[in-house]
């Protein structure tokens, strides 16, 4: 990365050399103790991975390639030792995996652990896949399974003490994988008319995609790629459908494809399932077609920091 | 800014079109309640101005031109009304003044007011003025007066209630002016071998400039452009020299000029005084030449978040 980052940490600012013919993608994300993670539940290594992964996901959602990031970190003095080491270890692995180099940042002391990440990405000029651009009858797709991260969060909340970072059931919640390969593939093949990542849950994010183009959508409940859950959870009123509709933090991609191109979408890409879940409608309503065939309005039930005051994830 | 920011707020990320032949400057800064400002002392309008001004100052310190910024804001629900309006008003004025457009950001709810700003700037390729690059015998200059912001902070701390944003004595503390014109002028004229902005105080920042080139410096106490202070303050042991050496938040530029070019530095640029305060030395020590002629080591006494646990500014 030496040539794209001639000046990194240690000067007043970093210097990034943009690639000719490309535009720069800019995104920033909070990752705050108590709001987005819990000190006594989330391993520092997972905090390091996830804070970068979720910001990189915004670059994936435009079909872009991440290049570098800035880290703003506020920590208690008690966390300068082992916690910081583990955090940097997870962050470094994410940085290598996503080919996204640390360019600079700002550190300060604070009672709470506060993280803010800015990711700088690139995309060939004029080729970014935006939220706007869908047409009525476009087919809506999602990658992966929906609700997997939320299921992991609930398991983590129900247990005592620090989560085991190696627990497979928690992996999607602790170590999300931004869908970079899929985003780039869709952009290069010009298959998606619009795209976004699912961070707050399908029921909250889909209306945003639709609003950008002044359209609506009909989602088919029976086609949603949900997760299996224990009979225990089912008894407590949690269903795979509820998790798939409202669960946050999946960082899967939601994208629209014109009908005539839908045959070009494979059932999976590099092991990640791609599922048609409904279509764009001229009417601005967002409706859910239940298995019975009945259509009901789909209301946002995902993550909203100004509606939910308790720590949710 | 329409052409440089084709996608702003409302998508997964912002898109910035870099200027051909230019490099991108990236910098981010915390601005946190209790650490960098106080809710019951600092007017929201000043918080809005200052959070952007101090990040833009890092771009000025490289001779760059600010282009756009990302705002990450966490607020209590009680502050969504008037406080937020006033904050955005100050931020908007700063944004216009510095020609630095809001490109995007992230908002969430939080008990404390937390702000993080990322500024994106530009500089012709290879022309940024870095911290490294000084040579022994280069003359050290500073812009403006040193200690003015710290004097303002102390006045604000000694009074009750919210500060009056129109109080001239507090202006430098509440509404700092990044030295963009000076930074660009020095870069275009190729006069500065190295440059940085003074955010933590001369005694803390000068060693960083020297370290980057493996040199030292000798500062002449009698030449430091200090501020006047009341006899009251003098009695309490505060001197203009102490403020000039250790006072933070001035956002003036510290830069080095080769001796043969020193005659090209005017005594002021657009009303901002430029003062030679000492020179770079081969020895790696940082020394202060007292008015008596005696030379003493200059120890860092400015802002350090990991040394000072109380809210300082």
**Is beta strand A101-109 parallel, antiparallel or unpaired with respect to A65-75?**
parallel
> What does the pLDDT look like over A15-47, one tens digit per residue?
999 999 999 999 999 999 999 999 999 999 999
Tell me the C-alpha distance between B167 and B298, whole Å.
33
Please report the pLDDT score of residue A310 as a whole number.
38
Please report the pLDDT score of residue A306 as a whole number.
66
Please report the pLDDT score of residue A267 as a whole number.
98
Asked if the Cβ–Cβ distance from A70 to B26 is below 8 Å, we say yes
Residues of A in contact with B61 (CB under 8 A): 12-13
DSSP secondary-structure letter at B37? B
Asked if B20 reaches chain A (Cβ–Cβ under 8 Å), the answer is yes
How far CA A217 is from CA of A194, A207, B51, B112, in Å, comes to 13, 8, 40, 38
Which residues does A36 contact at the CB level (< 8 Å), separation at least 6?
A30, A313
* Superfamily the domain B139-297 falls into: PurM-like C-terminal domain (3.90.650.10)
Measure the N-to-C terminal CA separation of chain B; round to a whole number of Å. 33
HSE-CB at A269 with a 13 A cutoff on CA atoms is 19
pLDDT at A225 over 50: yes
Measure the N-to-C terminal CA separation of chain A; round to a whole number of Å. 33
Asked if the Cβ–Cβ distance from B35 to A212 is below 8 Å, we say no
| Of A127-131, A165-169, B71-75, B82-86, minimum mean pLDDT range | A165-169
Nearest CA in chain B to A26: B14
How far CA A310 is from CA of A7, A123, B109, in Å, comes to 41, 37, 10
Please report the pLDDT score of residue B306 as a whole number.
66
CB atoms under 10 Å from CB of A252, counted, come to: 32
> What does the pLDDT look like over B134-165, one tens digit per residue?
999 999 999 999 999 999 999 999 989 999 98
DSSP string, B235-298: HTT--HHHHHHH-----EEEEEE-GGGGGGS-SEETTEEEEEEEEEESSS-EEEE-TTS-EEE-
Of B24, B25, B32, which has the smallest distance from its Cβ to A110's Cβ? B32
pLDDT at B185 over 60: yes
Note whether B201 and B248 are within 8 A (CB): yes
Tell me the C-alpha distance between B31 and B265, whole Å.
34
Please report the pLDDT score of residue A249 as a whole number.
96
**Is beta strand A22-32 parallel, antiparallel or unpaired with respect to A114-124?**
antiparallel
* Superfamily the domain B22-124 falls into: PurM-like, N-terminal domain (3.30.1330.10)
CB atoms under 10 Å from CB of A38, counted, come to: 16
Please report the pLDDT score of residue B238 as a whole number.
83
Of A12, A27, A212, which has the smallest distance from its Cβ to B196's Cβ? A12
**Full-model pTM:** 0.95
Please report the pLDDT score of residue B308 as a whole number.
53
Asked if A309 reaches chain B (Cβ–Cβ under 8 Å), the answer is yes
Domains of chain A, residue spans: 22-124, 139-297
CA-based max dimension of chain B: 62
Which band of pLDDT confidence, cut at 50, 70 and 90, is reported for residue A1? very low
Asked if the Cβ–Cβ distance from B105 to A28 is below 8 Å, we say yes
User: Which of B123, B142, B102, B136 is closest to B272 using CA atoms?
Assistant: B142
Note whether A48 and A91 are within 8 A (CB): yes
Asked if A17 reaches chain B (Cβ–Cβ under 8 Å), the answer is yes
Residues in B 161-200 with any Cβ partner in A closer than 8 A: 196-197
Q: Could you tell me how many helices (H) and strands (E) chain A has, helices first? A: 8, 13
pLDDT at B313 over 60: no
Mean model confidence pLDDT for chain B: 94
Which band of pLDDT confidence, cut at 50, 70 and 90, is reported for residue B98? very high
Asked if the Cβ–Cβ distance from A28 to B116 is below 8 Å, we say yes
Note whether A13 and B25 are within 8 A (CB): yes
């Amino acid at each position: 990365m030496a040539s794209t980052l001639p000046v990194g940490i240690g000067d007043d600012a970093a210097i990034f050399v943009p690639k000719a013919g490309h535009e720069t993608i800019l995104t920033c994300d909070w990752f705050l103790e108590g709001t987005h993670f819990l000190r006594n539940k989330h391993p520092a290594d997972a905090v390091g991975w996830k804070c970068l992964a979720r910001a990189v996901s915004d670059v994936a959602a435009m079909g872009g390639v991440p290049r570098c990031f800035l880290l703003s970190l506020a920590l208690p003095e008690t966390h300068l030792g082992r916690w910081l080491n583990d955090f940097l270890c997870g962050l470094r692995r994410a940085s290598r995996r996503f080919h996204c180099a640390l360019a600079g940042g700002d550190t300060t002391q604070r009672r709470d652990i506060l993280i803010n990440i800015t990711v700088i990405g690139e995309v060939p000029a004029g080729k970014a896949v935006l939220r706007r651009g869908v047409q009525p009858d476009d087919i809506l797709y999602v990658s992966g399974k929906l609700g997997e991260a939320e299921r992991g969060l609930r398991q983590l909340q129900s247990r005592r003490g620090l989560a085991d970072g190696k627990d497979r059931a928690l992996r999607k919640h602790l170590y999300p994988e931004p869908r970079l390969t899929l985003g780039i593939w869709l952009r290069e093949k010009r298959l998606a008319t619009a795209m976004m990542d699912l961070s707050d849950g399908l029921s909250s994010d889909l209306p945003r995609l639709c609003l950008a183009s002044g359209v609506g959508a009909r989602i088919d409940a029976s086609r949603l790629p949900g997760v299996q859950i224990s009979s225990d959870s089912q008894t407590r009123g949690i269903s795979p459908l509820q998790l798939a509709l409202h669960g946050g933090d999946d960082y899967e991609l939601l994208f629209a494809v014109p009908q005539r191109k839908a045959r070009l979408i494979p059932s999976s890409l590099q092991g990640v399932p791609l599922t048609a879940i409904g279509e764009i409608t001229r009417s601005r309503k967002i409706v859910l077609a239940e298995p019975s065939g009945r259509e009901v309005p789909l209301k946002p039930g995902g993550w909203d920091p100004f509606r939910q005051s308790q720590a949710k994830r």
